C-alpha cells in the first residue's frame, strides 16, 4: 500500500472489521497458526536516557532501581527453558554497567541452553553490536518509536534520530533478525507519520515489528498527556501485517494494559508472537515503563499457563520452534 491508502484506512473506522480480518487471514497464510512465545527477562531498570514518555528515564528519582546480575539472570533463563521457551529476550534500560565484556559473558552462558537469543538494550556502537553477534545473539529489538524527526527530537532530549536509524541499519548489516516498532498516540503525532512509520519498516526490511499505544506515566513530563487509542494502535499493527506479510508481530503488553483482552484481540488481527515475563515478582512492578503494566503479581509459571490457555482457547497452537522469520516468495 502507498502512504495515501494507509492514511485513508487509518482515518476512517468504517472498514475496521475488514482490516482486522484481512490481517488475520494474511497472518494465517504467511506465518500460520502457531504462536511463538518469547521469554522476557527485564534485567535492569537503570537507564541513562531521558525519553519523555518513559517511566524509567533517568530523571525519575521515584523508581526503585535494580540490576539482576549474571548468576541470577541465568537462573531465570534456565527456568524459562525448562518451561518450554525456545527464545529468550534480554531487555534493560541503557545501563552502562553491563559493558561489552559483561554482556558477552552472559550471552555465551545463555547460548549454551540451545535457545534463540534477543537483546533489547538500546543504542550501541557498530563494534558492540558486532561483539554481541559474534558471541551468538540472534536478534535485536530497537524501536524507532516514531519516524517524524521533529517529534522524535521533542520526545528524546539529547538523542539523535539519525543515530537511531543508523543503529537499525547496522543491526541489519550484521545479520541480526532486526525488530523495531513505534508508539501510537504520542502527543502531536499525526496519522501521516504513522503511515511513514510503516513505510520505514518496509524500507528497513524489519523482521519483527512491535506496536504499542502510548500510556502516560505520572512521573514523566507527559503525565497529563492523552493516552493512545487501543484501536488505532491495532489498526497500525494490522496494516503492518498486510504490508509485511511474513514478519513476526508481537501482541504487546501495552495493548493488554489498555484493553483486558488486548493480546488476544491482537493475535486475531495479525499478531503471531507473545512475550511473557519470566522474572520473579520482585522486579516486575519496578520495570514500570508505563503504569498499570499487566502480570505484576504473577510468577513465570502463572504467566505461561495463563497465556497458553488463552491462545489455545482461540484455536491457535504454541510453537515448539525458535521462531525465526521464514521468508515467503520474493519478500
Ligand atoms: N507507553 C507505552 N509504551 C512505552 N514505551 C516506553 N514508554 C512507554 C509508555 N509510556 C515503549 C517504547 C520502548 C518499549 C520498550 O516500551 O516504545 O521502545
Ligand atoms: Fe501473565 Fe496472563 S500472561 S498473567
At 226-270, the pLDDT tens digits run 999 999 999 999 999 999 999 999 999 999 999 999 999 999 999
User: Which residue out of 287, 293, 307 has the highest number of ligand 2 atoms within 8 Å of its CB and is therefore the one to mutate?
Assistant: 307
Residue 49, pLDDT score: 98
pLDDT band of residue 330 (cuts 50, 70, 90) is low
Which residue owns the Cα nearest ligand 1 atom 2? 214
Are 304 and 276 spatial neighbours (Cβ–Cβ below 8 Å)?
yes
For the chain, percent of residues with pLDDT exceeding 70: 99
For the chain, percent of residues with pLDDT exceeding 90: 99
Residue 331, pLDDT score: 62
Give me the chain's average pLDDT, please: 97
User: Can you give the pTM of this predicted structure?
Assistant: 0.98
Contacts of 148 (CB under 8 A, 6+ apart): 189, 190, 193, 196
Please state the atom number of ligand 1 nearest to the C-alpha of residue 182.
17
Question: DSSP per residue over 193-258, as a string?
Answer: HHHHHHHHHHHHT-SEEEEEE----TTSTTTTSPPPPHHHHHHHHHHHHHHSTTSB-B--HHHHHH
Domain-by-domain residue ranges, the chain? 3-318
Dist. CA 42 → ligand 1 center (Å): 13
Pocket lining: 103 vs ligand 1, CB cutoff 6 Å? no
| Cell numbers placing 324 | 525465526
Q: What is the chain's length?
A: 331
Query: Within the chain, where are the H helices?
Result: 3-11, 16-31, 70-82, 100-111, 126-135, 149-155, 161-173, 191-204, 230-243, 253-258, 262-267, 281-284, 300-313
Q: What ligand is nearest to the CA atom of residue 212?
A: 1
Distance CA 60, CA 219 (A): 6
Q: N- to C-terminal Cα distance for the chain? A: 14
Dist. CA 300 → ligand 2 center (Å): 8
Question: CATH number of 3-318: 3.40.50.2000, 2.102.10.10, 3.40.50.720, 3.20.20.70?
Answer: 3.20.20.70
pLDDT band of residue 130 (cuts 50, 70, 90) is very high
Are 26 and 237 spatial neighbours (Cβ–Cβ below 8 Å)?
no
Amino acid at each position: 500500500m502507498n502512504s495515501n491508502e494507509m492514511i485513508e484506512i487509518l482515518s476512517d473506522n468504517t472498514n475496521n472489521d475488514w482490516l482486522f480480518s484481512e490481517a488475520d487471514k494474511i497472518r494465517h497464510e504467511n506465518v500460520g497458526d502457531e504462536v511463538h512465545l518469547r521469554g522476557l527477562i527485564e534485567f535492569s531498570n537503570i537507564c541513562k536516557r531521558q525519553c519523555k514518555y518513559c517511566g524509567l528515564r533517568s530523571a525519575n528519582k521515584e523508581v526503585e532501581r535494580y540490576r539482576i546480575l549474571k548468576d541470577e539472570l541465568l537462573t531465570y533463563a534456565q527456568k524459562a527453558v525448562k518451561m518450554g521457551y525456545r527464545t529468550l529476550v534480554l531487555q534493560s534500560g541503557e545501563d552502562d554497567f553491563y559493558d561489552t565484556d559483561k554482556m558477552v559473558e552472559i550471552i555465551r552462558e545463555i547460548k549454551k541452553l540451545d535457545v534463540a537469543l534477543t537483546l533489547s538494550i538500546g543504542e550501541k556502537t557498530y563494534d558492540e553490536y558486532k561483539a554481541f553477534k559474534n558471541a551468538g545473539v540472534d536478534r535485536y529489538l530497537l524501536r524507532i518509536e516514531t519516524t517524524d524527526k521533529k517529534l522524535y527530537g521533542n520526545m528524546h532530549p539529547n538523542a539523535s534520530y539519525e543515530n537511531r536509524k543508523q543503529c537499525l541499519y547496522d543491526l541489519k548489516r550484521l545479520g541480526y533478525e532486526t525488530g523495531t516498532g513505534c508508539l501510537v498516540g504520542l502527543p502531536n503525532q499525526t496519522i501521516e507519520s504513522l503511515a511513514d512509520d510503516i513505510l520505514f519498516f518496509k524500507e528497513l526490511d524489519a523482521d519483527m515489528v512491535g506496536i504499542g499505544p502510548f500510556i502516560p506515566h505520572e512521573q514523566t513530563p507527559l503525565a497529563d498527556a492523552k493516552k493512545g487509542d487501543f484501536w488505532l494502535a491495532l489498526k497500525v499493527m494490522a496494516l503492518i501485517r498486510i504490508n509485511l506479510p511474513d514478519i513476526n508481530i508481537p501482541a504487546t503488553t501495552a495493548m493488554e494494559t489498555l484493553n483486558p483482552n488486548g493480546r488476544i484481540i491482537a493475535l486475531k488481527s495479525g499478531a503471531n508472537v507473545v512475550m511473557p515475563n519470566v522474572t520473579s515478582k520482585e522486579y516486575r512492578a519496578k520495570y514500570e515503563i508505563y503504569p498499570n503494566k499487566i502480570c505484576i503479581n504473577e510468577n513465570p509459571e502463572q504467566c505461561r499457563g495463563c497465556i497458553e490457555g488463552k491462545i489455545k482457547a482461540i484455536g491457535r497452537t504454541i510453537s515448539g520452534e525458535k521462531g525465526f522469520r521464514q521468508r515467503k516468495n520474493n519478500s
